[in-house]
Amino acid sequence: MTDAVLHHARIALVGNPNSGKTALFNALTGARQKVANYAGVTVERKEGMIRGASGRTMSVVDLPGTYSLRARSPDEEVTRDVVLGRFAGEASPDVMVAVADATNLRLVLRLILELKAVGRPMVLALNMYDIAERQGLRIDIEGLRAELGVPIVTTVATRKRGLDDLVAAVEAELAAQPASLPSAWTSPDAEGIRAAHREAGRIMRAHVRPPEHPDTLTGRIDSVLLHPVFGLAILLGILFVMFQAVFAWAAPLMDGIEALMAGLGGLVAAALPDNLLRSLIIDGLISGVGSVLVFLPQILILFLFIILLEDFGYMARAAFLMDRIMGGAGLHGRAFIPLLSSFACAIPGIMSTRVIDNKRDRMATILVAPLMTCSARIPVYTLIIGAFIPQQTVGGVFNLQGLVMFGLYAAGIVSALGVSFLIRRVFWRGRVEPFMMQLPAYKAPDIKNVALNLWQRAMIFINRAGRIILPLMVLIWVLSTFPYPPEGATGPAIDYSFAGMIGHAIQPLLAPIGFNWQMSIALVPGMAAREVAVAALGTVYAVGDAESATGVLASTLAAQWSLASGLAFLAWYVFAPQCAPTLGVVKRETNSWKWPIIMFVYMVALAYLAAFVVYQGARAIGWG
């Protein structure tokens, strides 16, 4: 048997950024890779399987978008290497599907001319054909097909239109078994690119009529959103509303979940005799995991905002508005989207820095990304804010707790800018790299896509609670329950447990920043994931005090901690690198332990310093 029989045929989706490759990939394979309306969403290759009408299975590879095979950034290199068959043990794809945004053909035509030199069979998918039709864009498909010498299908990836035709065209190419030509691709010089542009321009003029109803809405929206003065104010306003919403809208839902957890604890308490098992379930599982699950509504509200902005097409605008400010801090304009995604979670944020081509620009962005307030900090912030900041309205409209939350986010942003300034303007001075970015047309967010994304987020969060937090909670419960206090002991039992011993042992180190031993013990498992600290506090206080077992953690904290300690804990969490997966991803993306270690050390140092200043400052003004 030959290789061709043993292996599935491989099909690669290639094209400019934001042309709908991933949407097409998802539609073809049923995968759920991230789709959003800005360039550079996909940064690694993903494979999936499809079955053609003949029953033949083929593997499809989704690739990062690019304007040229002459790759400049790590994501584009992936595309180049897959297309040219440079990955070890992999030949070039058997068929390339060039995915084009039908409303924006010029650049992809030039890319197709480059792809043709690779010498593999190709099919052109004119995607976003719905928009082309709506605009009255007239494409002479037959002429284009003859000119380019490749079969053409029209598709609407988001509505799953044209998929069968596309797969059939691919299968026809496979069946034709064309002699595979050796790749004649060489990196084009400026004159080569100009010549290809002239050719693409000629093809455009011959076969594409300009749209009868061009999109004017995008321009009109942009004249407001990109306004030199109001633009930035609107951006700040959007972020502000987002954080207010995280507090204001989530409250009723959170109360509901809290009541549910309390009810569950009550049921278990009534059903089980007072023994160790009951303590494990109520104090360890329900108090620990429940205290984290309560934050699901807030996290979903945050994600709802981010997903809507991404789908609408606002992200590239935000990057445009922030470019000068970021540049002042030594960051590249393209760093904005990775940093904004880090509000959700630093891990996708760090991965999306692959669109940044300069190594130092990319490294600086990676190092500061975890300073952006990720959603795992929300439980910590909300718990402490709920315990220490009164629920009141200031200035008639602003919720004070929301304001403090906004302040914590601002602290994260300002410190990220400060640190990157230090890195790029003091340690690593260098030339400023060019910034070029497409501003995509606005699109109405796709409700299904939004709902699906939210659902995935909810599942990830609940999974984390189950897989990371739950086992850690069992461990903490064991540590805080055993050993039992000696006969005739006077203090609370937990003081004599392992947790008490560990907490008391490290507490002197943390005393200058106002942490008591319960906070100290919560930091240890909290190194794995930030929200674990909340769960750990839930368990430590539940075991320590039977009364509050099903009570509300926030009120326990308010009674037990000074305001200064509470604020210091918040300050610590703005900076602390308490997330093992983030450090792991930095190791993977930079291929060395050096950077995660540098990140860990500088963030711990900042966290300690910030907590120290806040604690001592708050005590000095009498909040101790």
Partner 1 sequence: MSDSFPLSQARVGARGVIVQVGDHGDHDEHAIELERRLLEFGLVEGARIEVLHEGGIKRDPIALRVDEAVVALRRREAASLMVRADDAA
Ligand X SMILES: Nc1nc2c(ncn2[C@@H]2O[C@H](COP(=O)(O)OP(=O)(O)OP(=O)(O)O)[C@@H](O)[C@H]2O)c(=O)[nH]1
Coil, helix or strand at residue 209: strand
- Looking at the Cβ atoms of 163 and 293, the one nearer to Mg ion is 163
- Provide φ and ψ at 140, rounded to 5°: -85, 90
Amino acid at 498: F
x-or-dash pattern for partner 1, window 567-606, by CB under 8 A? ----------------------------------------
- Complex with partner 1: residue 195 or 563, whichever CB lies closer: 195
Cβ-contact 185, 118 below 8 angstroms: yes
3-state SS record for 241-260: HHHHHHHHCHHHHHHHHHHH
Q: Could you give the string, one character per residue 273-312, with x where binding to partner 1 holds by CB under 8 A and - elsewhere?
A: ----------------------------------------
Contact residue for ligand X among 77, 258, 433, 446 (CB under 6 A): 446
* Residue nearer to ligand X on the CB measure, 32 or 594: 32
* Residue 327 contacts residue 293 (beta carbons within 8 Å): no
Nearest-approach distance from CB 42 to Mg ion, in angstroms: 3
Over the Cα atoms of the chain, what is R_g?
Answer: 28
Q: Residue 42: helix, strand or coil by DSSP?
A: coil
Q: By rule CB under 8 A, what string of x and - marks binding of each residue 49-88 to partner 1?
A: ------------------xx-x-x----------------
> Residue 247 and residue 292: Cα distance in Å, rounded?
16
Contacting partner 1 (CB under 8 A), which of 29, 59, 104, 562? 104
Nearest of 587, 580, 540, 535 to residue 560 by alpha carbon = 540
Residues 405-444 that bind partner 1 (CB under 8 A): 431-432, 434-439, 441
Residue 131 touches ligand X, criterion: CB under 6 A: yes
| Beta strand ranges found along 57-207 (DSSP E) | 57-62, 95-101, 122-127, 138-139, 152-154
* β-sheet bridge partners, residue 198: none
Contacting residue, 84, 172, 308, 325, with partner 1 by CB under 8 A: 325
Does position 19 bind ligand X by CB under 6 A? yes
- Which member of 10, 21, 120, 424 binds ligand X (CB under 6 A)? 21
Give the one residue of 19, 26, 37, 42 binding Mg ion; rule: CB under 5 A: 42
Nearest distance from residue 42's CB to ligand X, in Å? Answer: 3
Match 């490294």 to its residue by tokens. 363
Stretch near partner 1 under the rule CB under 8 A, chosen from 186-194, 390-398, 551-559, 569-577: 186-194
Residue in 9, 11, 12, 42 binding ligand X, rule: CB under 6 A: 42
Contacts of 13 (CB under 8 A, 6+ apart): 21, 24, 25, 60, 61, 62, 63, 97, 99
Exactly one of 223, 393, 463, 555 binds partner 1 (CB under 8 A); which one?
A: 223
Task: Identify residue 479 by its one-letter amino acid code.
Answer: L
Please report which helix (H) or strand (E) contains residue 351, including its range: helix 346-351
By CB under 6 A, is residue 17 in contact with ligand X? Answer: yes
Q: Which residue has the tokens 């919720």?
A: 399
The end-to-end CA distance of the chain, in Å, is 79
* 382: contact with Mg ion by CB under 5 A: no
Which own/partner pairs from 346-350 qualify as long-range (CB within 8 Å, at least 24 positions apart)?
346/370, 346/372, 346/374, 346/579, 346/582, 346/585, 347/581, 347/582, 347/585, 350/582, 350/585, 350/586, 350/589
Contact yes or no for 298/254 (Cβ under 8 A) = yes
Minimum distance from CB of 29 to Mg ion (Å)? Answer: 13
11, 12, 35, 567: which one binds ligand X (CB under 6 A):
35
| Binding track, positions 191-220, relative to partner 1; x by CB under 8 A | --xx--xx--x--------x---x---xx-
C-alpha triplet 41, 424, 322: angle, nearest 5°: 50
- With CB cut-offs between 5 and 8 Å by kind, which of partner 1, ligand X, Mg ion, none does residue 548 bind? none
**Candidate residues 141, 172, 232, 598; the one interacting with partner 1 per rule CB under 8 A:** 232
Determine the Cα–Cα distance for residues 505 and 153; give it in Å rounded to an integer: 69
Length of the chain (residues): 624
One-letter identity of residue 624: G
574 touches Mg ion (CB under 5 A)? no
Give the range of 155-163, 190-198, 412-420, 542-550 binding partner 1 by CB under 8 A. Answer: 190-198
Cα–Cα distance measured from residue 416 to residue 424, given in angstroms and rounded to the nearest whole number: 12
Nearer to ligand X, 425 or 443 (CB): 443
Cβ atoms of 529 and 464 closer than 8 Å: yes
Q: How far apart are CA 445 and CA 413, in angstroms?
A: 27
Instruction: Tell me which residues touch ligand X (CB under 6 A).
Output: 17-23, 35-37, 39-42, 64-65, 127-128, 130-131, 156-158, 311, 443, 446
Instruction: Tell me which residues touch partner 1 (CB under 8 A).
Output: 67-68, 70, 72, 103-104, 106-107, 110, 188-190, 193-194, 197-198, 201, 210, 214, 218-219, 222-223, 226-229, 231-232, 316, 319-321, 323-325, 333, 431-432, 434-439, 441
Instruction: Tell me which residues touch Mg ion (CB under 5 A).
Output: 21-22, 41-42
